[in-house]
């Protein structure tokens, strides 16, 4: 997803001098082509994310479209006060990019595990929260962030699922979820790169006779209330999957939507990290297995539910 984002951003920046990329002292190999083609639209703010966010806000208030870029929690939690008080409060064109959602940087430990970011960023007024499930959505989301005024959080994963459009004429729309697979027995609503595990879990379930519908929610806020309600009325079992704590993220958004509108599926389950720190260290695949977020575990939980 990272390379897809950078490639699309560079393509747009070449023709639009308003676009500015600020990094928190990382990603230089990835940014080589961008810096060569857009040298005046790149800035290294150093390991100073609070300052990076304030500089971005100032530039945005002078007419720039500014992307801040860092690993997981560094571009978000480390500078949360500046995001809230500067970027969001003034509703500026600051686009906060977090590379490494969930367990992407699993081997670097808890400081690099981004497992609360969706909940926290979702709670901020004037903030749009986007978490692509695959490469097509990552590319389309990059364009959408540039073309849509306001403050955004873009959560990119090291992994990805197959999210290619079912129909070539499909148009990406912020706030509109996508049906990636039709099914009748259980609806799995997913956000982020863990879509790949969900698709494998669906294959396991289908083999045992369970028909699975897969819904990609690439935009957590604003939320696609209408589609979620339609799905819950149509399918008796609804499951959410996210590489994130079950508190405050996608699962909470779906539960709030259903209860606020008086819709109650026969069975409902949130799959994600429990109310705990991900204190283990290892690859993303290993941590998914350890915390019950790999394909086998997802399929087993759903089979038990239904």
Whether 299 is covered by a domain: the verdict is: yes
Q: Are residues 20 and 148 in the same domain?
A: yes
251: Cα separation from own chain's centroid? 13
Whether 164 is covered by a domain: the verdict is: no
Q: How far apart are CA 20 and CA 27, in angstroms?
A: 15
Residues 98-129 as b or e (16 or more Cβ within 10 Å = b): bbbbbbbbbeeeeebbbbbbbbbbbebeebbb
Q: Are residues 114 and 217 in the same domain?
A: no
Q: Are residues 150 and 44 in the same domain?
A: yes
Q: Are residues 142 and 220 in the same domain?
A: no
Predicted local confidence at residue 150, as pLDDT:
97
Share of the chain above pLDDT 70, in %: 100
Domain of residue 223, CATH code: 3.40.50.920
Predicted local confidence at residue 48, as pLDDT:
94
Q: Of 101, 97, 95, 155, which Cα lies nearest the Cα of 127?
A: 95
Give the H/E segment covering residue 147.
helix 135-147
- The bridge status of strand 186-190 relative to strand 212-216 is parallel
Predicted local confidence at residue 166, as pLDDT:
83
Whether 194 contacts 225, CB under 8 Å: no
Q: How far apart are CA 156 and CA 136, in angstroms?
A: 12
pLDDT beneath 50: ranges in the chain: none
Reported pTM: 0.95
Neighbours of 52 (CB within 10 A): 28
Domain of residue 99, CATH code: 3.40.50.970
Q: What is the pLDDT of residues 161-205, one digit of tens each?
A: 999 998 888 999 999 999 999 999 999 999 999 999 999 999 999
Predicted local confidence at residue 202, as pLDDT:
98
Whether 161 is covered by a domain: the verdict is: no
Q: Are residues 198 and 148 in the same domain?
A: no
Full residue range of the structural domain in which residue 224 is found: 178-305
Predicted local confidence at residue 57, as pLDDT:
98
Q: Are residues 24 and 88 in the same domain?
A: yes
Q: Are residues 114 and 147 in the same domain?
A: yes
Q: Are residues 132 and 197 in the same domain?
A: no
Q: Which of 126, 156, 186 is the last residue of a domain?
A: 156
44 burial via Cβ count (<10 Å: 0-12, 13-18, 19+): middle
131: Cα separation from own chain's centroid? 2
Q: Are residues 108 and 195 in the same domain?
A: no
Domain count of the chain? 2
């Amino acid at each position: 997803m990272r390379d897809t984002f950078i490639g699309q951003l560079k393509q747009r920046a070449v023709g639009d001098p308003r676009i500015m990329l600020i990094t928190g002292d990382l990603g230089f190999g990835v940014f080589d082509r961008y810096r060569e083609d857009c040298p005046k639209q790149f800035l290294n703010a150093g390991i100073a994310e609070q300052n990076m966010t304030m500089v971005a806000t100032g530039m945005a208030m002078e007419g720039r479209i500014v992307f801040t870029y860092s690993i997981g929690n560094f571009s978000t939690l480390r500078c949360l006060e500046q995001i809230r008080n500067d970027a969001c409060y003034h509703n500026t064109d600051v686009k906060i990019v977090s590379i490494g959602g969930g367990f992407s940087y699993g081997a670097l430990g808890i400081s690099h595990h981004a497992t609360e970011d969706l909940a926290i960023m979702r709670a901020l007024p004037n903030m749009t929260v986007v978490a692509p499930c695959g490469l097509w959505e990552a590319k389309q989301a990059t364009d959408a962030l540039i073309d849509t005024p306001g403050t955004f959080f873009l959560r990119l994963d090291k992994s990805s699922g197959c999210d290619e459009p079912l129909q070539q004429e499909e148009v990406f729309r912020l706030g509109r979820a996508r049906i990636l697979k039709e099914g009748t027995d259980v609806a799995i609503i997913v956000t982020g790169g863990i879509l790949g595990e969900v698709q494998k879990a669906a294959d396991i379930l289908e083999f045992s006779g369970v028909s699975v519908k897969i819904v990609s929610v690439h935009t957590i806020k604003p939320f696609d209330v209408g589609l979620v309600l339609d799905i819950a009325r149509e399918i008796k079992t609804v499951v959410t999957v996210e590489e994130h704590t079950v508190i405050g993220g996608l699962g909470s958004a779906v539960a709030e939507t259903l209860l606020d509108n008086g819709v109650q599926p026969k069975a409902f389950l949130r799959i994600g990290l429990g109310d705990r720190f991900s204190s283990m260290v290892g690859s993303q695949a290993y941590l998914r297995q350890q915390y019950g977020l790999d394909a086998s575990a997802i399929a087993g939980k759903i089979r038990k539910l239904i």
